[in-house]
Structure 1
C-alpha cells in the first residue's frame, strides 16, 4: 500500500512539473483585433496596450471594420484576442475572458427629419447603419427584423463611427445608428450639435424581447453632461454586452494580464454601470476561460507579491486543472484500503468452496477409494494455503483456513478407519 501511494505521489508530482514547465516563459507579444482607428473599440484597445506594456508585453492592435471581422480573424487564428459585440457568434476554439461593458444602441436623428420614435414606422429614410463587417450593421439588421421591416424599406449608408457621424451632421443621413461604448470619441460632436438629437425609441421592452442579444438599459438624465443636461431625462435604450474573446490556446500568463487589465479598465462605474459590475465572469452564450474567471472574481493571487506573474499564472492554471482530478482520485484513494483488504481475504476465501465441496462429498462417500481421492485433493489445498505469502495482518486468515481443512481431514480419516 505504501509503495502504491508513493508511486501515485511521484506520478502527480511529475504531472505537476510537466504542466508548470510547459511554455513557462510567456510570449512577449499579442495580437488584439479592435475596430477602426478613432472608434470606441480602438480607444479601449489602446488602453489595454498601455496596461500590458507595464509587463513588457507588446500588444499589436489590428484595425478592423468591427465585431464581425474580429470574429472572422479569431476563427482564422490571425489574432489572439478580440472585442466582440453581444450577439456576434464567436468561432469554435475560442473562450471569453469575461463580459466587459455595455454598448448602448445609439440612434441619433436630425431634428428637421421628424423621425418617428417608433422604429416600426420608419420608411424611406436614409440611415447610416454601419460598415460591412461591423457589429453595428449586425445590430441594425436585428433591429429592423424586430420592428417588422422588410429589406429595402429604408436606404442604408454603409458608414460607421466618425464617417457615419459626419454624414448625419452634413445632412446626408436622416438617422445614424451606433453600437458603441459611451466613451466613443465620435459621439461627442453629436451630443453637442443642436440640430441632432438622441432619439428615444418607443417600445424598448418589446424590441429587447425580439433581440436576444440586447437588453433594456437606462442612460440617466445628465449621464453625458450636466451643462447642458444631456440627456434631459432618463433615456431607455437597447444595450448589448461586449466580450473580450480569446483563442483557447492563449498562454495562461497572457490571460492573466488581460484579465487584470480588464479589472483596471472596466471596473469603474459610469453613467450606465455600477462599480465592479464589469468585468463579469458569469456564464453566458460563450464558454468562459476558467483561469480568467477566477481572476475576475477573486483578484490577483497573493503569490504575485513574491513571484513573477507568469510563474503564478502557471501555478494557478495547474491548480485549476488539478482540482477536478482530486475530486475523482480522493474517493478512489479512500477506497483503496478496503479494496486491498478484500483482495487479501479473497486469496484465502477462494479455497472455501472447494473445501466445502470435499466435506459434502466425504459425508456421502461409501467407498474407501473415494475418500482417499478426497483426502488427496484436500492435502493439495492445504499445501497451497501453507505456501501462501500474506502480509502479517492477514496471516490469521490462512491459519483459520488450515484449521478448517484439518477438521475435514479428521472427518475423512475417521470414516476411512471404518473400512
Structure 2
C-alpha cells in the first residue's frame, strides 16, 4: 500500500509540474503606435479582461510587422498581438498560432488635386507609404508593384514615422499622396483627412481585381455619406481594399486566456459597423499562420467547461485540483483493486516455494533406496526446513496455508522414517497388484495422499 501511494503521489506531482493547469493572471499585448486603432483596441481588451481578474500589459510598437517580429522573438516578453493578414512572409511563424480574424483594416489613400481612378496615376510623384514595420508600408509596396511602381524608379517614397507630419506634408503640398491604415495612424488624423475639403479619398475601382491577385485582401464599400451625412462624406460610394486583422499568439498561450481574448474580441468587434455585419467577427479565418486548436474549439463549441461554468479565478483552482486528482485516481483505483491479489500471491509464493523442496527430497529418496545414511541426511534437511517454516510470520487469514505446509512436512518425514519398504519396493519396480496368494504386497492401513 505504501508503494502504491508513493507512486500515485509522485505521478500526480509530475503531472502538476509539467501540465499548465492554471491560467496566468497577467498577459502582454503588443499593439501599435499611440492613438492607433491597434492601441485603442488593446485598451478595450484590457478593460474587459480586468473584469475577470487578468491584468493586461500593453506594449507599443510600430505596427503589424513589428508586432509579428516581437511575437517571433523569444527574448521579447509578449504573449499576443495584432497582425495584418498576408504579412508573415520572411518571418518564422512555426511557434505562433492565430486566434482568428477580428476585423477589417482598410487601406486609405488620400491625395490632392483632380480625382484619380488608377493607382498607376501616382507614378513619378512623392508618396508617403508609412513607416517600415507597419502594415501600411508592406501593403502599399505590394499594390504599387502591381501598377509598375517600385522603389528605385522615378517615384519618390517617403517613410514618415509620425502620422501628423504626413498629414501636414500633404496639406502643405510637399507630398502628393499618403497611404494610411489604422495599425499605424491615429483615428484622429484619419478624421482630419476625411473632413479636409481639398483632400480626396482614393476610390479603388479595381478592387475586385486586387482581391483576386492578392488573396488576403477583401473588397469593402464605403457608402456615400456614411461618415458624415450632413457634409456628405464621402461624396460617392467608395471602394476600398482591406486585409483582415488577426489576433496572433505564441503557441504556449493557456487555453483559458485564449477563450478570454476571444470573448473580448466578440464583445469589441461583434457589433455592426460601416464595413461589417453584427457577429461577423471574430471569425476562424487565418492566412499564413495556423489556426490555434483552442480557437477552433472555441468557434465550434464555445469556452471550455470549467471556464464556462465557474468564474475565472475559481475555474483555475478547479483545473489545478483536477490535474492532481485525475491522474491519481486513474492510478490508485486499479492499483488498490489489485493490491489484495498481489499481496495474497506474495504470501502464497513464500509458502509454496517449500513444496518444491519437499518434492526434491522425495525424489532423492527414490534415487538412493535403502541408503540409511542418505535418509538421515534428508531427515536433518527436513528438520531445518521445519525450523525455518516455524519462524515464518503470515497474517492470520493465511494461517491455513502455513499449517498445511507443516502437516505435509510431517508427512514426508513419516514416509522417510517408517516406510522404507515402500521406497525399496518403488525402487525395485515390484507391482502393487495383489499377490497370487491373495495378499496385497502393501499395508492395508490407509496412507495419506501427498
TM exceeding 0.5: yes
Following the alignment from structure 2 to structure 1, what is the Cα–Cα distance between the partners of residues 318 and 157?
Answer: 52
Aligned to 2:140: 140
Residue 45 of structure 1, CA deviation: 1.1
Residue 218 of structure 1, CA deviation: 1.3
Aligned to 2:263: 260
| Conserved 8 A contact 1:39-1:186 | no
Aligned pair partner of 2:104 in 94, 102, 118:
102
Q: Which runs of 5+ in 1 are unaligned?
A: 1-10, 317-419
Aligned to 2:220: 217
| Conserved 8 A contact 1:253-1:314 | no
Q: Is the alpha carbon distance of 1:23 and 1:305 closer, same or farther for their aligned partners in structure 2, counting shifts above 3 Å?
A: closer
Offset from partner CA, 1:28-81 (integer Å, 9 cap, x none): 221111111111111111111111121222211111111111111011031211
Following the alignment from structure 2 to structure 1, what is the Cα–Cα distance between the partners of residues 269 and 45?
Answer: 11
Instruction: Report 1:14-413 matches (<5 A).
Output: 18=15, 22-77=19-74, 78=76, 79-89=78-88, 91-110=93-112, 112=113, 114=114, 116-151=116-151, 152-159=153-160, 161-180=163-182, 184-300=187-303, 303-304=306-307, 306-309=309-312
Following the alignment from structure 1 to structure 2, what is the Cα–Cα distance between the partners of residues 167 and 51?
Answer: 38
Q: Is the alpha carbon distance of 1:150 and 1:158 closer, same or farther for their aligned partners in structure 2, counting shifts above 3 Å?
A: closer
Following the alignment from structure 1 to structure 2, what is the Cα–Cα distance between the partners of residues 63 and 156?
Answer: 25
| Conserved 8 A contact 1:105-1:178 | yes
* Paired residue total: 306
SS in 2 for 1:50: helix
| Conserved 8 A contact 2:219-2:241 | yes
SS in 1 for 2:280: coil
The CA RMSD over aligned residues, in Å, is 3.1
Q: Is the alpha carbon distance of 1:88 and 1:314 closer, same or farther for their aligned partners in structure 2, counting shifts above 3 Å?
A: farther
Following the alignment from structure 2 to structure 1, what is the Cα–Cα distance between the partners of residues 287 and 232?
Answer: 35
| Conserved 8 A contact 2:71-2:250 | yes
| Conserved 8 A contact 2:272-2:279 | yes
| Conserved 8 A contact 1:128-1:164 | yes
| Conserved 8 A contact 1:107-1:175 | yes
> TM-score, normalised on structure 2?
0.61
SS in 2 for 1:98: strand
Residue 82 of structure 1, CA deviation: 0.7
| Conserved 8 A contact 2:30-2:81 | yes
SS in 1 for 2:146: helix
Q: Is the alpha carbon distance of 1:218 and 1:19 closer, same or farther for their aligned partners in structure 2, counting shifts above 3 Å?
A: farther
Residue 103 of structure 1, CA deviation: 0.8
Following the alignment from structure 1 to structure 2, what is the Cα–Cα distance between the partners of residues 132 and 310?
Answer: 41
| Conserved 8 A contact 2:23-2:316 | no
Q: Is the alpha carbon distance of 1:265 and 1:20 closer, same or farther for their aligned partners in structure 2, counting shifts above 3 Å?
A: farther
Following the alignment from structure 2 to structure 1, what is the Cα–Cα distance between the partners of residues 20 and 223?
Answer: 48
Q: Is the alpha carbon distance of 1:195 and 1:315 closer, same or farther for their aligned partners in structure 2, counting shifts above 3 Å?
A: farther
Q: Is the alpha carbon distance of 1:166 and 1:29 closer, same or farther for their aligned partners in structure 2, counting shifts above 3 Å?
A: farther
Q: Is the alpha carbon distance of 1:55 and 1:119 closer, same or farther for their aligned partners in structure 2, counting shifts above 3 Å?
A: same
Instruction: Give the stretch that moved more between structures: 141-150 or 166-175.
Output: 166-175
SS in 1 for 2:107: strand
| Conserved 8 A contact 1:98-1:282 | yes
Instruction: Give the stretch that moved more between structures: 160-169 or 227-236.
Output: 160-169
| Conserved 8 A contact 2:222-2:240 | yes
Q: Is the alpha carbon distance of 1:66 and 1:283 closer, same or farther for their aligned partners in structure 2, counting shifts above 3 Å?
A: closer
> TM-score, normalised on structure 1?
0.66
SS in 2 for 1:254: helix
Offset from partner CA, 1:255-282 (integer Å, 9 cap, x none): 1211111111111110011111110013
Residue 301 of structure 1, CA deviation: 5.3
| Conserved 8 A contact 2:52-2:313 | no
Residue 217 of structure 1, CA deviation: 1.8
